[in-house]
Amino acid sequence: MLNTLIVGATGYAGAELALYLNRHPHMNITGLTVSAQSADAGKLLSDLHPQLKGIVDLPVLPLENVAEAAKGVDVVFLATAHEVSHDLAPQFLAAGCIVFDLSGAFRVKDPAFYTQFYGFEHQHQDWLDKAVYGLAEWQADKLKEAQLIAVPGCYPTAAQLAIKPLLEKDLLNQDQWPVINATSGVSGAGRKASLGTSFCEVSLHAYGVFNHRHHPEISTHLGTPVIFTPHLGSFPRGILATVTCRLKPGVSAEQVAEAFQSAYANKPLVRLYDKGMPALKSVVGLPFCDIGYAVQGEHVIIVAAEDNLLKGASAQAVQCLNLRFGFPETTSLV
């Protein structure tokens, strides 16, 4: 059994993590914490998220001292804001913990991105260098030795799982950038009061056009420029990403199909569609990314659907945990 601590357990991703880890046969939750300033400190997780009542009734304690909190802990999950993860991760790592960070704080190697897209100066180039980006289907080997796993963002997971098989097989025309249109549920904005996410204000619209912080994460890890347009949808959970790419001249629909099949044949958390396109409801509440695609002439359209809180956050974090420690990949997930 590995002892584990969830930091930032009160958010939507944190609550999902608690649910997965609570039933994980090899994990023992030794603590749930939240910022000492939070009004939620001291409450039961199941008072904040009543769906967990009778399932995970642990208290959420204020995180006052990292060294203290890290004692006896093997694995730490950080479901915290980017700046908070940036500060906490090195401390838990120094204490010998394996850290799974669900924020964006260690996802891209170039610290300049943090200045430009996240609004803070990154202080930990060493950990940026050592962090393993946890896009699980593509990083299984690197994960085995990782100390710090930067779990990918919700949009980047869907976008990269959709595009990477074609890029790896060199089927895409590089003159034309992939166009990624994605729509996310409101939980992607986190659990907090804000006018923009209040019930009566939410409505389908594009946002962060040309300047969303997931843009550099996607293009850096794909190694190719993309056009990424995120949208907010009127639903609590899920992401649907529709990607339009241009194939190299002469590439056939069969080659496209073969690229997807070879990429995901043995990947239990990616479900390939051999006909039709995935719908959001097929993945909400589930740890999968569902992918469909269609080819016409030199054009290919790929649709990827996932639960932004699960395959786009907590389920992928647990998937990375499983790969890191050699547990079966879907343990506690399916």
Closer CB to a second copy, residue 65 or residue 116? Answer: 116
183 binds a second copy (CB under 8 A): yes
Among candidate residues 155, 271, 141, the one with its CA nearest the CA of residue 208: 155
282 binds a second copy (CB under 8 A): yes
DSSP for 119-165 reads SS----HHHHHHPEE--GGG-HHHHTT-SEEEPPPHHHHHHHHHHHH
Among candidate residues 15, 45, 58, the one with its CA nearest the CA of residue 317: 15
- 154 among known catalytic residues: yes
Stretch that binds a second copy, among 25-33, 91-99, 126-134, 203-211 (CB under 8 A): 203-211
Question: Residue 180 carries which DSSP code?
Answer: E
Contact 283, 307 (CB under 8 A): yes
Identify the residue among 42, 96, 285, 328 touching a second copy (CB under 8 A): 285
14 binds a second copy (CB under 8 A): no
234 binds a second copy (CB under 8 A): yes
- What are the structure tokens assigned to 264, written together? 């995901």
Q: How far apart are CA 266 and CA 204, in angstroms?
A: 36
Between residue 63 and residue 82, which ones bind a second copy under the rule CB under 8 A? none
303 binds a second copy (CB under 8 A): yes
As measured in angstroms, the least distance from the Cβ of 248 to a second copy is 15
Stretch that binds a second copy, among 71-79, 101-109, 126-134, 186-194 (CB under 8 A): 186-194
Q: How far apart are CA 291 and CA 141, in angstroms?
A: 23
192 binds a second copy (CB under 8 A): yes
186 binds a second copy (CB under 8 A): yes
Count CB neighbours of 213 within 10 A.
20
265 binds a second copy (CB under 8 A): no
Identify the residue among 61, 81, 95, 227 touching a second copy (CB under 8 A): 227
Q: Buried b vs exposed e over 254-264: b needs ≥16 C-beta within 10 Å?
A: eebeebbeebb
As measured in angstroms, the least distance from the Cβ of 162 to a second copy is 12
111 binds a second copy (CB under 8 A): no
CB within 8 A of 166, min separation 6: which ones? Answer: 172, 245, 247, 256, 259, 300, 302
List interacting residues with a second copy (CB under 8 A).
12, 50-51, 53-55, 176-177, 179, 181, 183, 185-187, 191-195, 197-207, 209-210, 227, 229, 231, 233-238, 240, 242, 244, 246, 268, 271, 277-283, 285-286, 288, 290, 292, 294, 296, 299, 301, 303, 305, 334
Catalytic positions are: 154
